[in-house]
Amino acid sequence: MKKIILTGGGSAGHVTPNLALIDELLKDGWEVHYIGTKSGIERSIIKDKRIIYHAVNAGKL
């Protein structure tokens, strides 16, 4: 199985482009992983996707 890691966070504007990518990658048989913060908006936005979420500690820039 092909695997890919996506990342993005801090605002929904950095996450929403990944939503379309995730759907297409899953349709094409990819195993999708996502790296985001433990408490960022990205976690709640992608929670309904069938992907593995890796939470990291990150401060605001």
Model pLDDT for residues 30-59, shown as the tens digit of each residue: 999 999 988 888 999 998 898 999 999 887
Entry pTM: 0.85
Q: What is residue 59's predicted lDDT score, i.e. its pLDDT? A: 73
Q: What is residue 61's predicted lDDT score, i.e. its pLDDT? A: 62
pLDDT band at residue 9 using 50, 70 and 90 as cut-offs = confident
Query: How far is CA 17 from each of CA 1, 12, 42, 57, 59, rounded to the nearest angstrom?
Result: 23, 9, 11, 22, 22
Q: What is residue 23's predicted lDDT score, i.e. its pLDDT? A: 94
Between residues 13 and 22, the one the model is more confident about: 22
